[in-house]
C-alpha cells in the first residue's frame, strides 16, 4: 500500500472512532414550521425554517421568526411589514395575515409554549442569575466561561432580557444542541421571580447580592431577599442554590432553598463560605489577582474588572461554573479578559485639555449598594481629578431622601473632586453636601445640581476636563445619562 493510501486509511479509521454525540442528530435550524406547530398548537400557513426568534421588528435579522406580541399600548401585528422587510421568515400571529405565519390563539402564550418546548428538547445545563446588583455582568461572565470551555456551546440572555417577556424569548432562542444556557431574571414587584424560574427550570440558581433596589415596591430588605430567593423554587431536582455568604440575609435565603430540598453553596469572604476568598491583590490594569478556596481545591485567577464588588462577583461565577460542570480554568480566563459592558462599567478615553480623560459608563442602573461600590472603585482609580456625574436612584419610595443623602460618605471616602448631581431625588444629596461644605465638616467636593442630562453635559463642559481626569457616570436608566456618555464618547472621544 502506498504511503498516501495508508495515511488516508488511518484517517478514515480515526473518523470511525470519533465519539458519537446524541446532539449530532438534532436539527441545525433553531425552529421549523412543524416544531412551532407542535409546541404552540398553532397552524402554519407555509413550511419554513427559522434561525432566530424576535419580538421587536427593529431588531429582526434575516431568517428570524417574528412573534407579534400584544401589549397594553402596542400590538406587534402592526409591525409585520417592517419585520418582513428586514428578513423575517415567518411570524406567530393571532389572526390570518398576508405573510407566512403560524396562527395561534394568544401570541404571548405561544411564546411561552415555544420556550418550554426549547427547554424540553435541550440537554443543556441551565443556570439562572438574579440579584439586586451585578446580575448582568455575572451572567455575562458565566456565559463567557462556559462558552469558552464548550467551544461555542453556550447560550445566554442578551442585553437585560430578564422579565416576563424577555426570559421566555431568551429560552425560546436556546438551540437544541446547546450545552449550557445562562438566563438573567429581574423583578420590580413581589411575585415576579417565581414564574420566571418556572419557565427556565434551572439546574443552578445564583443570587448575586441583596440591596435596596425596588424597595419602594417591596417595602423592606427582608421582602427583597424573600423575592430573590424565589429563583430557587424553579430548580430541577438535585439542583444547586448559590447564595452570597456575606449578606445579613444569607440564612434567610438558605432556609428558602433547603425547604425545597436543593443543595446550597455559599460564596464570599466569610470563613464559612463554600467558595471563600483567601486573598485579593490589586493589579496594574485596575483589576485584581484573586485566590479562592473551593473546599477541595484552591484557584488563582485575574479579574479585569476593577472594584471590590467584582471580587465577590467572581467568587459567585466560580461557584456557578463548578456547579454547572464547567471548567474553572476557562472561567479564570474569561474573568481576566472580560471588559465592561455598555452602561455597566465600559471605559472610554475621551478628549480633554492636554490629552485624554477616562470616562466610566455606569449609566444603565443605580441603587444605594451599586452607587457605593462604583464610587469606591472610582476612588481606587489613579487619576488627576475624580469627577462623579450621579443621576437619581429610582424606585426607593419614602427611603429616597435618606439613601441619596447617605452618598455623602462614599463620595468623601473616594476623594471625589467634583460632583454633578442630576434629577430631583439628588436634591437631598446636594443639600447634604452644601451643609458639609458650609460647616467645614470633613471633606466636601465642589458640586452642581442639574435637572436634566442636557444641563449635566453643559455643567461638565463648563467645569472642564483635563488630561488624567477620571469621570464616573452613574444613575438609574430612566434619568437618561446614557445621552451624556454618548455626547462625550462620540462627539469628543
CA 287, chain centre distance (Å): 19
Q: What is the Cβ-side half-sphere exposure of residue 375, based on CA atoms within 13 angstroms?
A: 26
Distance CA 309, CA 209 (A): 10
CA 134, chain centre distance (Å): 7
Distance CA 334, CA 327 (A): 11
Helix (H) or strand (E) holding 20: none
pLDDT(256) > 50:
yes
Task: From residue 294, give the alpha-carbon distance in Å to each of 129, 144, 224, 257, 302.
Answer: 20, 20, 28, 20, 16
Per-residue model confidence as pLDDT tens digits over 285-305 = 778 999 999 999 999 999 998
Nearest CA among 279, 328, 288 for reference residue 306 = 288
Widest Cα–Cα separation across the chain: 96
pLDDT(361) > 60:
yes
Question: Residue 229, Cβ neighbours under 10 Å: how many?
Answer: 26
Higher pLDDT, 1 or 56: 56
In this predicted structure, what is the pLDDT of residue 108?
97
Mean pLDDT score of the chain, rounded to an integer?
92
Mention every residue, 6+ apart, whose C-beta is less than 8 A from residue 21: none
Q: Which CATH superfamily is domain 122-337 in?
A: Mur-like, catalytic domain (3.40.1190.10)
What is the four-CA torsion angle of 180, 342, 132, 317, rounded to 10 degrees? Answer: 40
Distance CA 85, CA 323 (A): 44
Strand, coil or helix: what is 31? Answer: strand
Mean pLDDT check: name the lowest of 13-17, 258-262, 306-310: 13-17
Using 50, 70 and 90 to split pLDDT, how confident is the model at 99?
very high
Beta carbons of 101 and 26 less than 8 angstroms apart: no
In this predicted structure, what is the pLDDT of residue 184?
97
Nearest CA among 121, 137, 111 for reference residue 178 = 121
The grid coordinates of residue 112 equal: 411561552
pLDDT(4) > 80:
no
Distance CA 491, CA 150 (A): 40
| Mean pLDDT (whole number) for 163-178 | 96
| Mean pLDDT (whole number) for 338-362 | 89
Mean pLDDT check: name the lowest of 8-22, 255-269, 329-343: 8-22
Higher pLDDT, 441 or 279: 279
Q: Among 1.10.630.10, 3.40.1390.10, 2.40.50.430, 3.30.110.70, what is the CATH number of 27-106?
A: 3.40.1390.10
Distance CA 53, CA 39 (A): 14
CATH fold group of domain 346-491: 3.90.190
Query: What percent of the chain lies above the pLDDT cut of 90?
Result: 79
| Domain parsing of the chain, residue ranges | 27-106, 122-337, 346-491
Burial of 189 from C-beta contacts in 10 A (0-12 / 13-18 / 19+):
exposed
| Mean pLDDT (whole number) for 19-41 | 83
In this predicted structure, what is the pLDDT of residue 493?
46
pLDDT(475) > 80:
yes
Using 50, 70 and 90 to split pLDDT, how confident is the model at 426?
very high
Strand, coil or helix: what is 244? Answer: strand
| Mean pLDDT (whole number) for 142-162 | 93
| Mean pLDDT (whole number) for 51-78 | 95
Amino acid at each position: 500500500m502506498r504511503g498516501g493510501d495508508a495515511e488516508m486509511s488511518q484517517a478514515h479509521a480515526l473518523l470511525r472512532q470519533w465519539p458519537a454525540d446524541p446532539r449530532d442528530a438534532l436539527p441545525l435550524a433553531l425552529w421549523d414550521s412543524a416544531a412551532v406547530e407542535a409546541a404552540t398548537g398553532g397552524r402554519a400557513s407555509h413550511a419554513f425554517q427559522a434561525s432566530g426568534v424576535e419580538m421587536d421588528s427593529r431588531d429582526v435579522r434575516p431568517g428570524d421568526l417574528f412573534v407579534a406580541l400584544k401589549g397594553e399600548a402596542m400590538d406587534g401585528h402592526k409591525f409585520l411589514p417592517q419585520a418582513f422587510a428586514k428578513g423575517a421568515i415567518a411570524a406567530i400571529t393571532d389572526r390570518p395575515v398576508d405573510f407566512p405565519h403560524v396562527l395561534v390563539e394568544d401570541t404571548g402564550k405561544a411564546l411561552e409554549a415555544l420556550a418550554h418546548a426549547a427547554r424540553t428538547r435541550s440537554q443543556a445545563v441551565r443556570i439562572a442569575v438574579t440579584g439586586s446588583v451585578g446580575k448582568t455582568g455575572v451572567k455575562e461572565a458565566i456565559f463567557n466561561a462556559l462558552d469558552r470551555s464548550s467551544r461555542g456551546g453556550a447560550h445566554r440572555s442578551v442585553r437585560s432580557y430578564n422579565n416576563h417577556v424577555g426570559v421566555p424569548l431568551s429560552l425560546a432562542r436556546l438551540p437544541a444542541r446547546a450545552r449550557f444556557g445562562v438566563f438573567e431574571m429581574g423583578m420590580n414587584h413581589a411575585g415576579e421571580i417565581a414564574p420566571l424560574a418556572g419557565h427556565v427550570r434551572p439546574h443552578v440558581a445564583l443570587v448575586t447580592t441583596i440591596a435596596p433596589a425596588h424597595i419602594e415596591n417591596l417595602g423592606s430588605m427582608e421582602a427583597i431577599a424573600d423575592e430573590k430567593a424565589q429563583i430557587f423554587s424553579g430548580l430541577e431536582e438535585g439542583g444547586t442554590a448559590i447564595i452570597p455568604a456575606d449578606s445579613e440575609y444569607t440564612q434567610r435565603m438558605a432556609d428558602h432553598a433547603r425547604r425545597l430540598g436543593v443543595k446550597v453553596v455559599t460564596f464570599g469572604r466569610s470563613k464559612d463560605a463554600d467558595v471563600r476568598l483567601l486573598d485579593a491583590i490589586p493589579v496594574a490594569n485596575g483589576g485584581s489577582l484573586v485566590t479562592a478556596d473551593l473546599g477541595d481545591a484552591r484557584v488563582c485567577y485575574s479579574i479585569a474588572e476593577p472594584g471590590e464588588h467584582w471580587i465577590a462577583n467572581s467568587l459567585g461565577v466560580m461557584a456557578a461554573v463548578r456547579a454547572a460542570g464547567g471548567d474553572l480554568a476557562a472561567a479564570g480566563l474569561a474573568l481576566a479578559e472580560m471588559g465592561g459592558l455598555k452602561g455597566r462599567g465600559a471605559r472610554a478615553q475621551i478628549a480633554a485639555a492636554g490629552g485624554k480623560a477616562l470616562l466610566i459608563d455606569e449609566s444603565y442602573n443605580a441603587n444605594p449598594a451599586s452607587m457605593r461600590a462604583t464610587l469606591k472603585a472610582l476612588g481606587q482609580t489613579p487619576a488627576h481629578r475624580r469627577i462623579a456625574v450621579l443621576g437619581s436612584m429610582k424606585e426607593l419610595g419614602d427611603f429616597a431622601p435618606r439613601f441619596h443623602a447617605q452618598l455623602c460618605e462614599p463620595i468623601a471616602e473616594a476623594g471625589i473632586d467634583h460632583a454633578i448631581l442630576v434629577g430631583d431625588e439628588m436634591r437631598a444629596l446636594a443639600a447634604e453636601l452644601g451643609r458639609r461644605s458650609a460647616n467645614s465638616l470633613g471633606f466636601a467636593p465642589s458640586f452642581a445640581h442639574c435637572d436634566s442630562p442636557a444641563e449635566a453635559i453643559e455643567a461638565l463642559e463648563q467645569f472642564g476636563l483635563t488630561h488624567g481626569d477620571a469621570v464616573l457616570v452613574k444613575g438609574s436608566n430612566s434619568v437618561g445619562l446614557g445621552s451624556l456618555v454618548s455626547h462625550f464618547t462620540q462627539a469628543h472621544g
